[in-house]
Amino acid sequence: MDSSTNTSLATNETTFDLDEYEEGEDEEEAEDDVNEEEIYTEYDINGEGDMYDDDEMEFFDKGRKGERINRYEIIFRTMEANGLLLWMNKGRTLKGNYIAIAIVNGYIEFSFNLGKQHTFLQMRSKVHVSDGAWHTVVAHRRKRHGYLQVDGETPSRSLAEPGATLLNTNGRLWIGGAPTLPSGLPASYYLGFKGCVEKIKVSRKTLDMFNRLGNDKSMIHFCHDNDV
């Protein structure tokens, strides 16, 4: 890959304010009436529909309270078996709202909490990613439903506990690690990501990691073809 297009993230975490990227709703909704199995059958994680309703296609409004949908796509490579790729939250404990993507023992894990979880909710891919090759992860949440797909595999799915459908966070997306994390997460989440990131998409919009950092580019270094 061209060295100008790939970004190497070590343990120095990077944060972005995502007000213009995310989608949201004004208030908490009633639970879905659609049968869970029907939703899973109809859902295509790479399809144009992507389970979005017509009225859900507007991007995040700063005045809104929470997000009904999250979709992240990351193209990366690494030799490390563990590390945090993405983190966004609100609160200081696991009882608060959060969403995360991490590498755990060589496999991608996607987890989130809408504030009602009594147990740790996670989806784990079956594709090994700590091999130095390029991989594409797509993590998608719609209300209580979570989906994880790596390199076009059959998506892993999970369903959050009832009582909430919106994700309420502070809107700060951390890439490659976070300065503070609540206790109780898997050990891999506390390790910074080491490897190369070619592209990150938030709600299908490419995140301009380099230019959004302003004058402080110290935590980002470019990858070369032989770098991992």
- As a whole number of angstroms, the distance between CA 6 and CA 225 comes to 9
Buried b (16+ CB within 10 A) or exposed e, 156-190: bbbebeeebbbbbbebebbbbbbeebeeebbebbe
- The confidence band for 110, taking pLDDT boundaries of 50, 70 and 90, is very high
For residue 115, pLDDT beyond 90: yes
In CATH terms, is domain 7-222 a member of 2.60.120.200?
Answer: yes
Buried b (16+ CB within 10 A) or exposed e, 108-136: bbbbbbbbebeeebbbebebebbeeeebb
- The confidence band for 207, taking pLDDT boundaries of 50, 70 and 90, is confident
Tokens of 50: 């992507």
- For the chain, the distance separating the N- and C-terminal CA atoms, rounded to the nearest angstrom, is 12
Write down the mean pLDDT value for the chain. Answer: 78
- The confidence band for 177, taking pLDDT boundaries of 50, 70 and 90, is very high
Query: What is the tens place of the pLDDT at every residue in 145-173?
Result: 999 999 999 999 999 999 999 999 998 99
For residue 28, pLDDT beyond 80: no
Domain positions in the chain are: 7-222
- As a whole number of angstroms, the distance between CA 181 and CA 201 comes to 23
Output 224 or 166, whichever has higher pLDDT. 166
Spell out the residues 6+ positions from residue 42 whose beta carbon is closer than 8 angstroms to its own: 51
Segment 3-12 shows an average pLDDT of 45
Which residue, 111, 206, 205, 123, is CA-closest to 167? 111
Q: CA 196 → CA 111, 187, 211, distances in Å?
A: 22, 21, 17
